[in-house]
Amino acid sequence: DVKVTQSSRYLVKRTGEKVFLECVQDMDHENMFWYRQDPGLGLRLIYFSYDVKMKEKGDIPEGYSVSREKKERFSLILESASTNQTSMYLCASSLYSGGIKETQYFGPGTRLLVL
Amino acid sequence: AQRVTQPEKLLSVFKGAPVELKCNYSYSGSPELFWYVQYSRQRLQLLLRHISRESIKGFTADLNKGETSFHLKKPFAQEEDSAMYYCALNPLSGGYNKLIFGAGTRLAVHP
């Protein structure tokens, strides 16, 4: 069974703080993703990574950065948290199989509240 | 532009009633389409993918390229089907296995 874990289930931070969200997968997947999930908007892709030290912007990268120093770990960084970044953050991973698009496996989510 | 539209935020039915969750997509090529489900207090998980042409938990979904739709159907809803359902599109071009999600539909099945 693929396991995707996220370091925190709930986080409360103050405006302007630097926030780190960590994600780890144990299935040697090449691809990792960060989404935010908001009611009425669904899931929106923030960043993704297809290999160590490689990253690509998703649809809403503004205010976020990412780091992937090891294959199993993908970090989302909020350089200076703002109240509009209050959301549920989901991490996902998938195996890249050449031209075949594999299923994405999701973590349990981190609910971030920025005060 | 690539887009997935789920027109209903909430679908409320009684147990035993048929269910159809609508999904329309906008994509010029041949996409790969999925339904993901999130039960209360559980993580988002794959329900089914169109390429497999399978029935999972009694749900089926048929890709209609003419209508650019991928509606999710079940003939007899159960209370345990209550969940949030997301339709997702994976464009087969561009690589990297990205998914584009719809806004989601909450299915509430009442006894």
Specify the CATH number for the domain of residue A37.
2.60.40.10
> Is the residue at A59 inside a domain?
yes
Pairing of strands B3-5, B24-26: antiparallel
> In which residue are the tokens 């389409």 written?
B33
What's the confidence (pLDDT) of residue B50? 82
Contact residues, chain A, for B98 at CB < 8 Å: 33, 45, 48, 58
> Is the residue at A80 inside a domain?
yes
Domain of A86, in residue numbers: 4-8+15-95
CA distance A105 to A28: 12
Chain A residue with CA closest to B47: the answer is A103
What's the confidence (pLDDT) of residue B95? 59
Per-residue model confidence as pLDDT tens digits over B45-99: 999 988 777 888 999 998 888 899 999 999 999 999 999 999 999 876 655 667 8
Per-residue model confidence as pLDDT tens digits over B9-58: 999 999 999 999 999 999 877 778 999 999 999 999 999 988 777 888 99
Query: How many domains does chain A contain in total?
Result: 1
Q: How many CB atoms lie within 10 A of CB A17?
A: 14
Token pair of B1 as six digits = 């532009």
With CB atoms and an 8 Å threshold, state whether B101 touches A44: yes
pLDDT above 70: residue A101: no
With CB atoms and an 8 Å threshold, state whether A41 touches B103: yes
Domains of chain B: 3-110 (2.60.40.10)
Do residues A4 and A109 lie in contact, with contact meaning Cβ atoms separated by under 8 Å? no
What's the confidence (pLDDT) of residue A99? 54
> Is the residue at A85 inside a domain?
yes
With CB atoms and an 8 Å threshold, state whether A42 touches B32: no
Chain A to chain B Cβ contacts (< 8 Å): 53
Per-residue model confidence as pLDDT tens digits over A47-88: 999 889 889 999 999 999 999 999 999 999 999 999 999 999
- Residue bearing the bigger pLDDT, A27 or B77: B77
Q: How many CB atoms lie within 10 A of CB A61?
A: 15
